[in-house]
C-alpha cells in the first residue's frame, strides 16, 4: 500500500546575504547566504537585520518536510 503524504507546510523566513565574512548583527554571525526562520528572532533583532546596509534581506517561505501517514 502506498504511503500518503500530507501537503508540505511552509514557514516564514528570511534569506540573508553578506559579502563580509563573520559580520554580526541581530545576535548572529552572518557568512555568505543563510536562511533562517523569522520565529528565531525577536522583533528588535529582526529590525536590526533588516535595517543593516551591509546585509541583503529577502522574505521567503521555507517548505517543511511533509508528514507521512503510516
**Average pLDDT of the chain to the nearest whole number:** 86
Best CA proximity match to 50, nearest among 26, 27, 22, 21: 26
Distance, CA of 7 to CA of 35 (rounded, Å): 22
Instruction: Give 27-58 pLDDT, tens digit per residue.
Output: 999 999 999 999 999 999 999 999 999 999 99
Q: How far is CA 38 from the centre of its chain?
A: 6
Domain 11-63 in this protein, CATH class: alpha beta
Q: Is 39 helix (H, G, I), strand (E, B) or coil?
A: helix
In the chain, what are the domain boundaries?
11-63
CB proximity list for 23: less than 8 A, separation 6 or greater: 29, 30, 31, 54, 55
Q: Is the pTM higher than 0.95?
A: no
Amino acid at each position: 500500500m502506498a504511503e500518503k503524504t500530507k501537503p508540505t507546510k511552509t514557514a516564514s523566513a528570511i534569506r540573508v546575504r553578506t559579502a563580509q565574512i563573520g559580520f554580526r548583527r541581530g545576535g548572529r554571525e552572518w557568512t555568505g547566504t543563510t536562511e533562517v526562520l523569522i520565529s528565531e528572532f525577536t522583533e528588535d533583532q529582526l529590525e536590526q537585520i533588516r535595517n543593516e546596509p551591509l546585509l541583503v534581506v529577502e522574505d521567503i517561505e521555507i517548505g517543511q518536510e511533509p508528514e507521512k501517514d503510516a
